[in-house]
Structure 1
Amino acid sequence: MEHTSCFHCGDLCDTSTVLHDEKSFCCQGCKTVYEIFSDNDLTCYYDLQSNPGTTPQDIQGKYDFLSQQNIIDKLVEFDDGKSQIVTLYIPQIHCSSCIWILENLNKLNPNISSPQVDFGKKTVRLQYNSEHYSLKEVVILLSSIGYEPYISLEDFSTGKSHVNRSLIYKLGIAGFAFGNVMFLSFPEYFEVNEFWLEQYKPFFRWLMFAFSLPVVFYASSDYFVSAYKGLRAKVLNIDVPIALGIIVLFLRSTIDIMFDFGSGFFDSLTGLLFFLLLGKFFQQKTYSFLSFERDYKSYFPIAITKITKDGKEQPVQVYDIKESDRLLIRNEELIPVDGVLIKGNAKIDYSFVTGESEAVRKVSGDKLFAGGKQTSGSIEMEALKSVEQSYLTQLWGNDVFNKSKEDGFTTLTNMISKRFTIVVLSIAFISTTFWLFYDSSKALNVFTSVLIIACPCAIALAAPFTLGNMLRIFGKHKFYLKNATVIEQMAAIDTIIFDKTGTITSNKQSTAKYEGATLSSSEEKLLKNTLRGSNHPLSRTLYALLEEHDIITLDQFEEHLGQGLEGVHLKDRIKIGSANFVGKNTETALLNTAVHISSNNTYKGKYTFYNSYRKGLSQLFNTLKKQYDLAILSGDNEGELENLKKLLPVRTKMLFNQKPDDKLEYIKYHQSEGAKVMMLGDGLNDAGALAQSNVGIALSENVNVFSPACDAILDAEKFNRLGDFLGLSKSAIKIVNWSFMLSLFYNVIGVYFAVTGQLAPVIAAILMPLSSISVVVFTTIATNWVSRNLK
């Protein structure tokens, strides 16, 4: 009887076969999924993998509970009345086809946009138009095409992760079988004839065979599945030689006991799987322990202004925000937590969350969602809950804002693993062929030992463990990187560009002197409240220096990047910024940075700033000058030129009166000449330059600098350690290279003993995870050693 496989899911059509479009399906559900894909021109889904789908389950009425608003509120991350964002756990994600179809859900329904799949976590994060489409309909759509989400309200409310415990079960079974098989093998090892009587040999050998069955068909299933999927996709992954070795050992051992050639290699087989799984378990535990993601999120340096009960403004880090805290959100600042608007003109840009740039106006009492950016002066809000670091960093890494950056080490690792597997298979077959003619009794051991000992797992672990641990170390010392790719980019940098105000100068120690006509009480109040809404370093400095005044809500606020501020209250209008911006023509060169003021189009005067440069600035520049081209791009005038010449090394490039677009074009020009540029700025006026640079670093000094433009955030207190961080990034790359060499050394030695027939498969199985463990230990010790001077 001929068995037909389902075109969609690959299952056998045992009971009945549904024919459609000259294709066979196991049920109406799989046929319906195919029709959906076909009608929406998505049948190339099947080109990526053969039978990639799963059988859709009966979902009639199953998700009616998703119509309840209180449950929806618990599940969605964002809801502004028009759009909702949700992250769903989908256990069925297993191959490239799954990723492709889930990231093309918008073609199945245009109400869905921006689907992003995290293959490792098996989640999909998507945004949908909540005015025309509901969460229930989203879930039903996913279920209908075979990707039914796993929804647990307890998991969503407590933040528990979905733990796959199968590895523990497989390890337990392999360990149990290995122990028993070794015990049953002892009599034959020592030839104890008194016990191992001839009539009991077959019984105990078949008992060993029975113990090996769950090991081969359950405990080793991941290796077979991975190898099969790799081969089906025409890719030789690192599990191919392992799966091949397991099959050869099992078949040879079974033949041995069937024809009474010997006791087989069941001890080596079960031992092999036990030690492989033990090494895998150790790697997972170690990587979880070293997880940079958890560590750098918990240290995230975003500061926000909290209004205390006595009305004072106090900067706090976002993870210290508690429910019912009153927060001040300035112009261009990010809302860090969900809350309720209390005071001010809110015009919220949610493009950071949704990708839609249209700002939404809110009035007092409206709910504000984390991730929105205030764009119209300052507002006050009350926090509804504490901050979720994972949510903020998820926004930071949103694909909407990601630049395409080369991930050389990921590519290098994959390339080495692929080529390594080809080399290993070639060596295994050549050496086995040789031993078949020279000494056939050793051929099987040689073949299996080569496949196992030369597994490139250690090579694949070198880069993620090294760079991951380095990210954790950076985070511990208040230097926060978006991802491991940034370390690679930093190591390749040859040009460093600094903004001046708020970057090489310290806002905390700056002073200002007023020259001009006396400001009236109402003008001082309007000046103070206009400055209150800005995040610019000069605005923050001047705001802190002015006397306290009553807090008022401005009727209009506008910040002109690179020029100044404009505020309106009742009939009064004030402008604060450059001389040209306020309408003052200056003929004499200024010796210091100045902020000019006009009230109702009448020039009033200026505040002249006396900058205080950051501690260790001169030493830092002299250190960096040895390896990097340095430049300063400032929007201020040349008043500080002579002071900077005394502080900084000779031939440091200094350009003044630079608008934000000028900085961006300067960086773009040097990149076109082959330069790898790092930019340090304040995260506001420098957003374009930070985005254009190969590595953009925003300096944080009690300021909410959470910006999609930057690749890293550096605490201002650690500014003078920038050279150390750059040196560590280069050391990390060296450690990766040394790890590759260490792994290669292991493999050359191991393969030599395996090819010469001096290595048993079970010893190879012990050595293989040990090589991986040694690489992990080496990278951990090495990264901690090279970073010891940071303490």
Structure 2
Amino acid sequence: MGHKTCFHCGLDSTSSEITYDEKSFCCNGCKTVYEIFSINDLTCYYDLQKAAGAKPSDIEGKYNFLDNDKIVESLLEFNDEKTQIATVYIPHIHCSSCIWILENLNKIAPSISASIVNFGKKTVRITYNSESFSLKQVVKLLSSIGYEPFISLDDFSVGKKNTDRSLIYKLGIAGFAFGNIMFLSFPEYFQVSGFWIETYAPIFRWLMFTFSLPVVFYSAQDYFISAYKGLRSNILNIDVPIALGVTVLFLRSTTEIIFNLGTGFFDSLSGLIFFLLLGKFFQQKTYTFLSFERDYKSYFPIGITKINADGKEESVQVYDIEKGDRLLIRNEELIPVDCILINGKAHIDYSFVTGESEAVSKKSGDKLFAGGKQLNSSIEVDVLKTVEQSYLTQLWSNDVFNKNKEDSFTTLTNAISKKFTIAVLSIAFIATAFWLFNDASKALNVFTAVLIIACPCAIALAAPFTFGNLLRIFGKLKFYAKNASVIEQLAAVDTIIFDKTGTITANKETHIDYEGLELSGNEESLLKSTLRNSNHPLSRSLYSLLNEHNIVTLDTYQEHIGKGMEARHEQDSIKIGSAPFVGFASETATLNTAVHVSTNNQYKGKFTFYNKYRKGLSKLFKRLKRDYDLVILSGDNAGEKENLTKLLPAKTKLFFNQKPEDKLEYIKHHQNSGAKVLMIGDGLNDAGALAQSNVGIAISENVNVFSPACDAILDASKFNQLFKFIKASKSSIKIIKWSFVFSFIYNIIGLYFAVTGQLAPVIAAILMPLSSISIVVFTTICTNVLGRKLT
């Protein structure tokens, strides 16, 4: 009987005699998984990578603890009436097939509405209908298809604190073995003869062989596994030449020991693996540091309004929120923390979290979850726990909001690495064949040295380290980019579109005059209470200007984007907004923005805003105009056109009375013509335009303007530095290209010495991680220099 492998997991299935659909399986578990995939039309899982699955384990009764509501509640990150969201850690995630099947769980279980894989962290964020499905059923489903999650009951964490220390252990063993093998090789190095050769040489050589075993079969196992999985999927990854070099060195050295032909290359072998792992450890620690800087110290400059014990309101940053604080959440504001509703009518849109667009109503005493967006009137809430930046980061990075954004540079890097690997293997075999015919004693060293010296790790590292460090630097300078692709896209833009109010105007410095009938105390109180609900820049400016009044709870409140807002309290009604909206049709042309007010259907007057433009605006536009097409898209009337024409460079396009949908269509039209558009807005009325643009930047002025639609958040105080940020993004692309050039030059020089037989494998093993480290150092230094130029 011939050897058979399991169609699902690739293990030996010769003795199992389990077949289904003319395919062999090692156990009924793998057969069941295949049946599940077949029934649900998911067998293309095996087209992505052959035998990619894992053997499902027996889980009967293993997850009964998930029947405990208290434990389940602690594992959930969102739990509403119908929807629950949980993030589970799955150690088996390792390839594109895993990602594909885990992101198509809804085809196996319709109660699952979405599942998003974080490949780097090996986690899956699963959204499901809690009325027809439970967390226990989710876990059992994952286990049944070979993706059993890791759940720690010690602290109710879903594997997030399960730190992988295997690299440290592998590095320690490789270092220990390398040192001892070098020590045992000293007599050979110094060519000691006579009694040594006859008595101790065989013992020392077998000791070196013994020390090499854990190095090859434990420390180097990741390279073999990665190479095997790549070859099985017809992919030549960067670990193939390394695994090949290690195998050749080990077999050749073992042969020499067995037949007493010499001491072998165990010193080179252990040194190779030690230095490879050392370089890998350095890369991992450095990139982890960069990721930590981005995840927890950057990203969210957004503020929230905190209500103090004396009733006064102040704006605080979200990561300064503490348990027990009282917060004010206005219309269209995001709820940054889990909290309890105290006052007001909550109408929460959880589409950012669950993907469901239908808003839910909540009453006083109900729990509200972070990530929901309040619609209509303002609410007051008490904080249950502090903000989790990692959660908000995950929310911002949700793939739902990245459909129109492309990340082409990573693909380019991978393509270069793949071609590079093919070229290296070709050179290695050609050079080895040449030396076999000319000097066979050098052939092995040449083959191994070429495979080691020309590893394309340095090329693969250039982009993530350059962008990673620049993201950190930008964050410190209050420009918070969502991810590395934002920097790449920012470097490619050729058209820049600005909103006007709240973007190029400074709300805090705006002067406001009132013209019209005097407002009574009740009318002013109603006006202030209505403005309190709105997040619009003009509303915020006017709200802060009005005198203190007793805030009343509105019976109804409605905001009409681009027009104004209306509210009712007891018998009184009010409208605030444009002249036509409040019923005042005889407005004369004005050079300034105005907000009109009517109460109980009687026109009262208008508040005229004398805009103060942001510091350095004229200088910024003049610098940008040299390289970019500049456009102003404003929802206000054309009253400011004359002022802006004097202030801004010639040929700057100005469009007024633009509704949010008009802005979106304008951007889409120019993109269809080949333009790469950067949109800069206030993050509220411009959400559609920010999402449609190639890069969308929301301006933050101590308000909660967070929107997943934006790709970056720029602190308003750094607005005049926008040109420098774009220029730095362009420079980062040049740094990556120079890194490619240096890596190419290094490899050409190294290959010359390797092919000509002048480079020992152990020296190549030292130089390879050094080349990777040099690229990291080069990109870090260059990006730090860029950072100093930005300050």
Same fold (TM over 0.5): yes
Deviations 1:603-639 (A, max 9, x none): 1111111111111111111221222121211111222
For the Cα contact (< 8 Å) 1:345–1:553, is it kept in 2?
no
- Tell me the residue number matched to 1:357: 357
- Tell me the residue number matched to 2:591: 591
Question: Residues 680-699 of structure 1: matches in 2 within 5 Å?
Answer: 680-699=680-699
Deviates more, 1:475-484 or 1:216-225: 216-225
Q: Does 1:172 align with 2:172?
A: yes
For the Cα contact (< 8 Å) 1:498–1:679, is it kept in 2?
yes
- Tell me the residue number matched to 2:221: 221
| CA gap 1:159/1:547 in 2 versus in 1, 3 angstroms | farther
State TM-score, norm by structure 2.
0.98
C-alpha distance in 2 between matches for 1:74 and 1:304: 26
Matched to 1:761, the amino acid is P
Matched to 1:77, the amino acid is E
- Tell me the residue number matched to 1:770: 770
Matched to 1:557, the amino acid is Y
- Tell me the residue number matched to 1:575: 575
C-alpha distance in 2 between matches for 1:510 and 1:298: 29
Q: Does 1:100 align with 2:105?
A: no
For the Cα contact (< 8 Å) 2:296–2:389, is it kept in 1?
no
C-alpha distance in 2 between matches for 1:42 and 1:494: 42
| CA gap 1:408/1:36 in 2 versus in 1, 3 angstroms | closer
- Tell me the residue number matched to 1:188: 188
Deviates more, 1:200-209 or 1:419-428: 200-209
C-alpha distance in 2 between matches for 1:674 and 1:3: 56
Matched to 1:670, the amino acid is H
Structure 2, unmatched stretches of 5+, are none
C-alpha distance in 1 between matches for 2:484 and 2:161: 23
Instruction: Quote how far apart the aligned CAs of 1:200 are.
Output: 3.2
Instruction: Quote how far apart the aligned CAs of 1:768 are.
Output: 0.1
Question: Residues 700-715 of structure 1: matches in 2 within 5 Å?
Answer: 700-715=700-715
Instruction: Quote how far apart the aligned CAs of 1:3 are.
Output: 4.5
- Tell me the residue number matched to 1:744: 744
Q: Secondary structure at the match of 1:53?
A: coil
Question: Residues 242-321 of structure 1: matches in 2 within 5 Å?
Answer: 242-291=242-291, 294-295=294-295, 297-298=297-298, 300-321=300-321
C-alpha distance in 2 between matches for 1:120 and 1:170: 20
C-alpha distance in 1 between matches for 2:242 and 2:308: 62
- Tell me the residue number matched to 2:538: 538
Deviations 1:333-359 (A, max 9, x none): 001101111111110000010000001
| CA gap 1:155/1:758 in 2 versus in 1, 3 angstroms | farther
For the Cα contact (< 8 Å) 2:92–2:147, is it kept in 1?
yes
Instruction: Quote how far apart the aligned CAs of 1:2 are.
Output: 4.9
- Tell me the residue number matched to 1:600: 600
C-alpha distance in 1 between matches for 2:317 and 2:153: 29
For the Cα contact (< 8 Å) 2:152–2:159, is it kept in 1?
no
- Tell me the residue number matched to 1:731: 731
Instruction: Quote how far apart the aligned CAs of 1:195 are.
Output: 5.0
Deviations 1:150-195 (A, max 9, x none): 0014455599532211111111111121112112211122121255
Instruction: Quote how far apart the aligned CAs of 1:281 are.
Output: 0.8
For the Cα contact (< 8 Å) 1:299–1:476, is it kept in 2?
no
Deviations 1:90-112 (A, max 9, x none): 11112222212111111111111
Instruction: Quote how far apart the aligned CAs of 1:297 are.
Output: 4.9
Question: Residues 145-160 of structure 1: matches in 2 within 5 Å?
Answer: 145-154=145-154, 156=156
Instruction: Quote how far apart the aligned CAs of 1:569 are.
Output: 1.3
- Tell me the residue number matched to 2:54: 54
- Tell me the residue number matched to 2:18: 18
For the Cα contact (< 8 Å) 1:187–1:195, is it kept in 2?
no
Question: Residues 314-713 of structure 1: matches in 2 within 5 Å?
Answer: 314-713=314-713
For the Cα contact (< 8 Å) 1:305–1:328, is it kept in 2?
yes
Deviations 1:269-294 (A, max 9, x none): 11111111111111111112222664
Instruction: Quote how far apart the aligned CAs of 1:206 are.
Output: 2.3
For the Cα contact (< 8 Å) 1:344–1:364, is it kept in 2?
yes
Q: Give structure 1 regions of 4+ aligned residues with deviation exceeding 6 angstroms.
A: none
Q: Secondary structure at the match of 1:574?
A: strand
| CA gap 1:728/1:154 in 2 versus in 1, 3 angstroms | farther
C-alpha distance in 2 between matches for 1:333 and 1:159: 32
Identical-residue share of aligned pairs (%): 74
C-alpha distance in 1 between matches for 2:446 and 2:145: 47
Instruction: Quote how far apart the aligned CAs of 1:255 are.
Output: 1.9
C-alpha distance in 1 between matches for 2:234 and 2:279: 27
C-alpha distance in 2 between matches for 1:38 and 1:672: 41
Deviates more, 1:439-448 or 1:93-102: 93-102
C-alpha distance in 1 between matches for 2:157 and 2:255: 55
For the Cα contact (< 8 Å) 2:664–2:688, is it kept in 1?
yes
For the Cα contact (< 8 Å) 1:449–1:754, is it kept in 2?
yes
Matched to 1:219, the amino acid is S
Matched to 1:398, the amino acid is N
Instruction: Quote how far apart the aligned CAs of 1:258 are.
Output: 2.5
C-alpha distance in 2 between matches for 1:452 and 1:711: 40
- Tell me the residue number matched to 2:758: 758
| CA gap 1:361/1:85 in 2 versus in 1, 3 angstroms | same
Matched to 1:585, the amino acid is A
Q: Secondary structure at the match of 1:198?
A: helix
Instruction: Quote how far apart the aligned CAs of 1:405 are.
Output: 2.4
For the Cα contact (< 8 Å) 2:299–2:393, is it kept in 1?
no
Deviates more, 1:87-96 or 1:380-389: 87-96
Matched to 2:506, the amino acid is S
| CA gap 1:229/1:293 in 2 versus in 1, 3 angstroms | farther
Deviates more, 1:58-67 or 1:725-734: 58-67
For the Cα contact (< 8 Å) 2:324–2:384, is it kept in 1?
yes
Matched to 1:308, the amino acid is N
Q: Secondary structure at the match of 2:663?
A: helix
For the Cα contact (< 8 Å) 1:297–1:390, is it kept in 2?
no
Deviations 1:20-67 (A, max 9, x none): 333333222222222222222222222222222222222121111111
State TM-score, norm by structure 1.
0.98
Matched to 2:749, the amino acid is I
Q: Secondary structure at the match of 1:519?
A: coil
Q: Secondary structure at the match of 1:291?
A: helix
Deviations 1:662-720 (A, max 9, x none): 21222222222222111111111111111111111100001111101111000001111
C-alpha distance in 1 between matches for 2:381 and 2:323: 11
Deviates more, 1:2-11 or 1:559-568: 2-11
- Tell me the residue number matched to 1:36: 36
Q: Secondary structure at the match of 1:680?
A: strand
C-alpha distance in 1 between matches for 2:215 and 2:5: 27
For the Cα contact (< 8 Å) 1:292–1:468, is it kept in 2?
no
C-alpha distance in 2 between matches for 1:27 and 1:423: 41
For the Cα contact (< 8 Å) 2:530–2:557, is it kept in 1?
yes
Instruction: Quote how far apart the aligned CAs of 1:533 are.
Output: 0.6
Instruction: Quote how far apart the aligned CAs of 1:318 are.
Output: 0.6
Matched to 1:453, the amino acid is I
For the Cα contact (< 8 Å) 2:304–2:702, is it kept in 1?
yes
Matched to 2:525, the amino acid is K
| CA gap 1:479/1:155 in 2 versus in 1, 3 angstroms | farther
Structure 1, unmatched stretches of 5+, are none
Instruction: Quote how far apart the aligned CAs of 1:239 are.
Output: 0.6
For the Cα contact (< 8 Å) 1:497–1:677, is it kept in 2?
yes
For the Cα contact (< 8 Å) 1:188–1:196, is it kept in 2?
no
C-alpha distance in 1 between matches for 2:10 and 2:531: 65
Deviates more, 1:381-390 or 1:45-54: 45-54
Q: Secondary structure at the match of 1:197?
A: helix
C-alpha distance in 1 between matches for 2:72 and 2:630: 52
Q: CA RMSD in A?
A: 1.6
Deviates more, 1:7-16 or 1:691-700: 7-16
Matched to 1:246, the amino acid is V
Instruction: Quote how far apart the aligned CAs of 1:391 are.
Output: 0.7
For the Cα contact (< 8 Å) 2:40–2:107, is it kept in 1?
yes
Matched to 1:611, the amino acid is N
C-alpha distance in 1 between matches for 2:410 and 2:35: 38
For the Cα contact (< 8 Å) 1:680–1:698, is it kept in 2?
yes
C-alpha distance in 1 between matches for 2:392 and 2:234: 39
C-alpha distance in 2 between matches for 1:711 and 1:474: 13
